[in-house]
């Protein structure tokens, strides 16, 4: 089932949906030995995917008695960031579309239920309205991270640590999310394989192989994939590569979109680099409470180095500042496709816009700061990264927990491979090495509570600095520090009072 709503008609449609399903009343079943769940995937996915299957911990005789599970999800003003992975109308022969269709059919037939996608252009308003009305017609919500944070503070979401029917250590959840997004040992949302939006919102770098070969990057620096796999892909290496590529292609002595650059970036690149280099706006203490940790001597030194690179306009272009917020995305893609940049910072869903380019390209993680850092760290963008949540008015959290387990696990073995193997590796990036890079990226995703909860809007202010080549972070922090700490204290208190 598939419905779209705007915020003005949300309540009416929620009421209609409430009538369409018959809620099961018994969510207290003790898990029994599970039976294998049949996997329906496209032939291509089956051939390219060899993931040892782990069955979800749900009762073998689980029966939802015809209930319609309604998943509220996002319509975004930028179509690329609208969710398209909850339900589809029909099979089309396209592997990802059909994997979503088949996943839902498997769950519906095996567990005697229906799955409905309810889309809204204002999920937060819809959730607030239904919770205040005591309306239980929405079972699951997929929330953008920053919106999720606000609703968690307001007590509108259920603490998933209290839902015993969910095994949050299972591979269809991001375990880094479990440890990093909890507050006061409560977890109000989880990055799950029900939706691909957390993967697609993850920061990464793509490189243009034509420019790469023309500038003899292999000969000068060594094979870039081997550099990554050897743990030597660092900020210093990135800087050297980026600043080796520059050309006034049109000969007008001005730096424009018609020239060649080492790297294209957006304002969100700044906080993505923060995560990659081990800088946290906030870090949790031993009591699972966030504390502001941005302004250390180490962090300030590294941030200065980031600005030193990004603000070198002969080599780097801030596409958002150059083209404006309405047009930058398409123009960024045009430059990359025209072989006028070596590298480009992206969120992984941006890769879909590169399908039609003739030149091959590859995918890389954001680099580490130094070789001594243990792992690469990839930030999940707080504006479009998506959490799976349960609203407080849910009809039966225990049964919904079983549903999330079943749907997320089936997604893990069908939808994710369709996206991972065919959409990215097979159709778009066109090389096997990028598959290995995706393994590294997705295994090391991280979430900064300082960016997600953003007290006094400080994270927003930081990324806005890149729009004007502002680098005076110390004065910005000093001006806002009192309010930042006050807002952080209020945030923590709001959780303590729940």
Sign of the alpha-carbon dihedral angle for 450, 437, 84, 187: negative
Contact predicate 85/415, CB 8 Å: yes
CA angle 161, 174, 184 (to 5 degrees): 35
Contact predicate 160/390, CB 8 Å: yes
* Mean pLDDT for the chain overall: 88
Is 434 buried (19+), middle (13-18) or exposed (0-12) by CB count in 10 A? buried
What confidence category does residue 80 fall into, taking pLDDT thresholds of 50, 70 and 90? confident
pLDDT tens readout for residues 91-116: 999 889 999 999 999 999 999 999 99
**Residue 17 sits in which domain range?**
2-200+382-413
How far apart, in whole angstroms, are the C-alpha atoms of residue 51 and residue 365? 23
Are residues 237 and 95 part of one domain? no
Are residues 255 and 128 part of one domain? no
Say if 419 falls within a structural domain. no
Say if 446 falls within a structural domain. no
Q: Which helix (H) or strand (E) holds 446?
A: strand 445-446
pLDDT tens readout for residues 165-207: 999 999 999 999 999 999 999 999 999 999 999 999 999 999 9
Are residues 195 and 212 part of one domain? no
Are residues 335 and 386 part of one domain? no
The whole-angstrom distance between residue 407's C-alpha and the CA centroid of its chain comes to: 19
Q: Which two tokens stand for residue 482?
A: 């009192």
pLDDT tens readout for residues 109-151: 999 999 999 999 999 999 999 999 999 999 999 999 999 999 9
Say if 428 falls within a structural domain. no
Say if 442 falls within a structural domain. no
Are residues 221 and 177 part of one domain? no
Smallest CA-to-CA distance from 56 within 139, 169, 138, 135 is with 169
Are residues 262 and 366 part of one domain? yes
Are residues 113 and 96 part of one domain? yes
Rama region for 288: left / alpha / beta (φ>0; ψ in -120 to 50; rest)? left
Q: pLDDT > 70: what percent of the chain? A: 88
Q: What is the pLDDT of residue 430?
A: 63
Q: Work out how many domains the chain is built from and give that number.
A: 2
pLDDT tens readout for residues 332-355: 999 999 999 999 999 999 988 887
Are residues 302 and 224 part of one domain? yes
Per-residue pLDDT for 260 more than 50?
A: yes
Q: Which helix (H) or strand (E) holds 284?
A: strand 282-284
Q: How far is CA 375 from CA 133, 226, 239, 414, in A?
A: 46, 15, 19, 28
Among the three residues 413, 436, 463, which one is the final residue of a domain in this structure?
413
Task: Please list the residues that pair with 318 across neighbouring strands.
Answer: 265
Is 418 buried (19+), middle (13-18) or exposed (0-12) by CB count in 10 A? buried
Say if 331 falls within a structural domain. yes
Q: What is the pLDDT of residue 428?
A: 59
Say if 155 falls within a structural domain. yes
Q: Which helix (H) or strand (E) holds 412?
A: helix 397-413
Are residues 111 and 32 part of one domain? yes
Q: pLDDT > 90: what percent of the chain? A: 79
How far apart, in whole angstroms, are the C-alpha atoms of residue 399 and residue 140? 11
What does residue 72 show for φ and ψ, rounded to 5 degrees? -80, 125
User: How much of the chain is in helix, strand and coil states, percent to nearest 5?
Assistant: 45, 15, 40
Are residues 388 and 371 part of one domain? no
Are residues 151 and 11 part of one domain? yes
Please report, for the domain that includes residue 27, its CATH number. Answer: 3.40.190.10
Say if 436 falls within a structural domain. no
Contact predicate 263/246, CB 8 Å: no
Say if 35 falls within a structural domain. yes
Are residues 318 and 387 part of one domain? no
Least confident piece of the model among 20-24, 93-97, 277-281, 473-477: 20-24
């Amino acid at each position: 089932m598939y419905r779209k709503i705007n915020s003005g008609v949300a309540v009416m449609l929620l009421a209609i949906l409430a009538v369409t399903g018959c809620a099961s009343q018994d969510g207290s079943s003790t898990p029994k030995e599970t039976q294998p769940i049949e996997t329906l995937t496209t032939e291509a996915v089956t051939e390219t995917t060899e993931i040892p299957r782990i069955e979800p911990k749900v009762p073998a005789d689980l029966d939802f008695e015809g209930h319609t599970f309604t998943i509220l999800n996002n319509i975004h003003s930028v179509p690329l960031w609208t969710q398209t992975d909850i339900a589809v109308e029909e099979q089309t022969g396209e592997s990802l579309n059909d994997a979503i269709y088949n996943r839902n059919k498997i769950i519906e037939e095996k567990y005697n239920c229906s799955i409905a996608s309810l889309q809204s252009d204002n999920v937060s308003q819809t959730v607030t309205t239904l919770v205040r009305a005591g309306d239980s017609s929405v079972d699951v919500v997929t929330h953008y991270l920053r919106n999720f944070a606000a609703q968690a503070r307001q007590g509108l979401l259920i603490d998933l640590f209290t839902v015993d029917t969910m095994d949050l250590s299972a591979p269809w959840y991001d375990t880094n999310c479990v440890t990093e997004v909890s507050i006061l040992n409560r977890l109000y949302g989880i990055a799950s394989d029900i939706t691909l939006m957390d993967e697609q919102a993850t920061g990464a770098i793509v490189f243009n192989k034509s420019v790469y070969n023309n500038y003899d990057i292999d000969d000068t620096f060594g094979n870039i994939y081997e550099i990554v796999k050897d743990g030597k892909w660092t900020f210093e290496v990135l800087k050297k590569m980026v600043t080796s590529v520059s050309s006034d292609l049109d000969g007008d002595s001005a730096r424009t979109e018609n020239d060649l650059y080492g790297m294209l970036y957006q304002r969100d690149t700044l906080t993505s680099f923060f995560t990659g280099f081990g800088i946290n706006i906030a870090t949790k203490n031993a009591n699972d409470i966030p504390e502001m940790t941005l302004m250390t001597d180490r962090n300030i030194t590294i941030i200065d180095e980031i600005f030193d690179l990004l603000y070198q306009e002969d080599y780097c272009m801030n596409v958002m500042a150059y083209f404006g917020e309405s047009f930058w995305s398409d123009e960024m893609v045009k430059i990359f496709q025209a072989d006028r940049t070596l590298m480009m910072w992206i969120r992984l869903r941006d890769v879909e816009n590169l399908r039609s380019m003739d030149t091959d390209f590859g995918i890389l993680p954001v680099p580490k700061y130094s070789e001594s850092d243990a792992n690469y760290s990839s930030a999940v963008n707080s504006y479009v990264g998506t959490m799976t949540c349960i609203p407080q008015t849910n009809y039966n959290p225990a049964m919904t927990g079983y549903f999330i387990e079943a749907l997320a696990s089936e997604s893990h073995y069908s939808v994710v491979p369709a996206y991972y193997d065919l959409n990215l590796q097979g159709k778009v990036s066109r090389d096997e090495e990028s598959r290995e890079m995706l393994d590294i990226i997705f295994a090391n995703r991280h979430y900064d509570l300082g960016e997600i909860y953003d007290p006094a809007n400080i994270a927003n202010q930081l990324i806005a600095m890149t729009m004007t080549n502002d680098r005076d972070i110390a004065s910005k922090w000093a001006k806002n520090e009192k309010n930042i700490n006050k807002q952080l204290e209020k945030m923590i208190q709001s959780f303590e009072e729940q």
